[in-house]
Structure 1
Amino acid sequence: MDLKKKVKYHFLCSICLEVFTDPVTTPCGHNFCESCISKHWDTSVDYKCPICNHMFTPGEVLCDVCTGTKHSKPLEVFCKSDQTCVCLMCSVMEHKSHQLVPLREGCEEKKVELEKIEADLQQMIQKRREKLEEIRESVRIRKDAADRVIAEGVEMFTALIELVQRGLKELMEKMEEQQEAEEREAEGLIKELEEEISELMKRSSEVEQLSHSEDHLHLLQHFYDDDDGGEEGDVQFAVDVTLDPLTAHPNLVLSDDGKQVKHSDVKKKVPDNPERISCYFFVLGKQSFSSGTFYFEVQVEGKTTWVLGVASESINRKRNISVSPQDGYWALRLINRNEYLACEDPRVILHLKCVPEKVGVFVDYEEGVVSFYDVDAAALIYSFTHCCFTHKLHPLFSPCLNDADSNQ
């Protein structure tokens, strides 16, 4: 411990950190200003020493540092070895081998030491202030020099930028003129190519539809030829579809033979089993297909609205979703008596030459094709192509709302 710290430890109050004023000592042997320790205890619940936390009773009395000690003797001697004030008895018993001086002499020595320390500190402070001012002046000089360099650099850089900007502007104007000319030429070529592509796509669509129409029309003709005694092998594509009551919406009424369905305003009390469709007025066929080709026909004569097609076994049957291939539906829809839509995303408006009374549905699972036909006119209505089937397919039917019995 250096001298300054020793002096501070023995002659400064640990509460106010100043030289003792009316010093007193606690029974545990620690010294404080009388006013400091009194204020400390006035704001405390317990009587504790601020240094060692020794507990006192309210009746215990503080002793004057200079008049009372643990031997009930005044403090008359200062031990330089331990840097503490002691009574004469302690000096003989406990500090007899230490360097001892009268208390007043010790105080005077400490006062001189404190004054010397204070003078040294003031000298150190002054030197550091002078050094601080030198640093500040150096920083100011360097900043002025840097500001001059920056100003000259900015002036030169500004002139260079102006020169570059003028050259860049001229270059950009020439490039823009050239680009505009090239864009005009490219736009002309693009327009010609787009017109050619549009025409080719139109031809491709017509050829594809014609191909499907001719192929499946030939298949339909075989079906009808079979009714007249045609080849038995062609009948394997036609299936006998029966409606599945376990999948029917509660507002749908099925015939006893499972061949007809209509909408009722009265909702039936039926079990909400996992198979039942509760989001739309739909019912599925009992039959399912996961390979090969199949064909079935549906009578729609007199209907003002309906939905017809196939659905994946994996469709969400309890929540409203889009009726589109993305959600497992490949279907046609009639609305407002004569508006036909293919349920693509977005919807495709169909323009039919005549109103179909019987619709045929043909599915080729491996080829990913679902085609709809006007059976009586032997004409293709629409084909979903390039489909990707990953689950079993079921025939799908919806009579839609009965519309006050006008849609039966």
Structure 2
Amino acid sequence: MSVSLRNMTHSERESGILSWETTSTQFWILLHRSTPTRKMASNFSLLHEDQFLCPICLDTFTQPVSTPCGHNFCLSCLSSYWDDETVCQCPVCKETFGRRPNLKVNTFISELASQFTSLQVTDAHTLSPDRQKDSAGCVVLCDVCTDVQQLAVKSCFECLTSYCSVHLEPHHRAAGLKRHTLVDPLANLQDRICGEHNHILTLFCFNDKMLLCDVCVRSQHVNHDVFPVQQAYREMTGVLGDTEARVQQMIQERQQKLKEMEESVKESKRETGDVIAESVMELTALVSEVQRSQTELVKVIEEKQKAAEEQAGVFIAVLEQELTELQMTKMMLRDIKQSEDHLSFLKTFPDPSVLLPHVTDLSSFSFNRHMEMWHVQKCLSSSVSQLQTLLRKMTAEITTFSASNNVTLRYLQQYEVNVLLDPDTAHPLLILSNDGKQVRYTKGSLRRRIQDVKPGEFTVHLAVLGRRGFSSRKFYFEVLVSQKTEWCLGVATASIQRRGVLTRGPDSGLWAIWFIENRFEAFSTPGVTVYPGKVERVGMFVDYNKGLISFYDVQTATLIYSCTDCFFTEELYPYLNPCDNQYGSNWDPMVIVPVTRMEDLI
């Protein structure tokens, strides 16, 4: 190759009289005559690196072009240079052109530069006997060994050959071979060659995300962002590194959040146990005190009654004795009164005061027990009434605590909005009601062929969006899911991916809960149960400004799951996915229903 370049005269090289097509033909004829096909690429090392560098960007040629004065530049570099100059002249020799030349890619230099690019990466790793398999785990054998093929330790892109440690030695000794690209053993080197043009794949197109050879660039990717594989690799690994760092950060954040939640649950469980134990102890003590008061009250009343009965018994005995004496006095007076001898009667008439027996003053004794019992009853009733008031207050506080979820849900329900489903976004396997309030999955009778989906429709997820988007406000709506075995409900951005499978993650543009049989998952964390059980009616609340999304079991006013610290940059649209029959019969529709107050459910 160097001989053919020296055979070209200075005038031929400078004036461009000898066309590059002719030179290319002569070069390849000479090259094929002088070297075997497999070792052909090693001759490129005879060229100097400066011959493949653009004088403007000082990097290897990309889409090289030649000026009439014979100098070579990258197409984009020379075009940009001339765009900034008032006079069209060569950046190197300053030759001025009357009109701007019509630049075309120099195929010969482009092909040489493409081949030369592959020489820029040399093997920076020491030989390692452990790396004897390719990335797929296949054993790679030396292509040069004739008797018993030894395991290959490296593969050469230029030679398209895999070498054992013995046959690789020339690549570490010969100057030309040192610049070959050596990699860990690869079983299918031919896969590194362009199937259409039979050139090495040394370039990568960022627009189409595909590997290219130099011919591919000239034919189909002229105005695309094309870079050498090594540079593209660095760019892509950098992107993956950033993504990996972000993923690692999200993992750490979630691990920390999970740890905090677990600690919070444990602490809450301990506090709940302590509160229950203390409350039971206090109420038990109160019940015991009431029982003691009851026992003491009964004892005191019974003792009072016994004392009163004893007192009354003594008084009764006295009265009975006095009655006997008075009866006898009465009989005696009757006998005296019956005497007919007046003189004798008057002579023996006794003093009446002497005749009367000594009796007790009745006014000094009374048995008015009902007044005493009434007083006791009044005092007791007053005390019981005060105690009942305190108990009712305590019960009201307990009821308020247990009904706090009801209060919260009633508060959220005041932000109810009218949600209608948009048929232009529905998957072809979904059927919507005429009023836009119901959606269900159908099978067999498609609305139309899936291949004929409209641009705004979902093609994989059995989903539909609401007609209206919401931003910078709070909104709430309820969905009846009945006995469905699977469904998904949430909100999504207008730019959510609708064609193909939607990756479940925090950056999917969808915030939703996914019900599967008897448990709930957050759409962003597949496989993680966030709530056990089943519900029939779901309430969904969104606070756009605070980045809060909450899902409630309407019948029990229980929080199912909350997405917190969300960051929204677009309008949010209601997202309903009735799902298919993977987990059993699931034909029931998802129905957007008016808000139901808790008092209406009782």
**TM-score of the aligned structures, taking structure 1 as reference length:** 0.43
Structure with more of its chain in strand, by fraction: 1
Greater relative contact order: 1 or 2 (C-alpha under 8 angstroms, separation 6 or more)? 1
**TM-score of the aligned structures, taking structure 2 as reference length:** 0.30
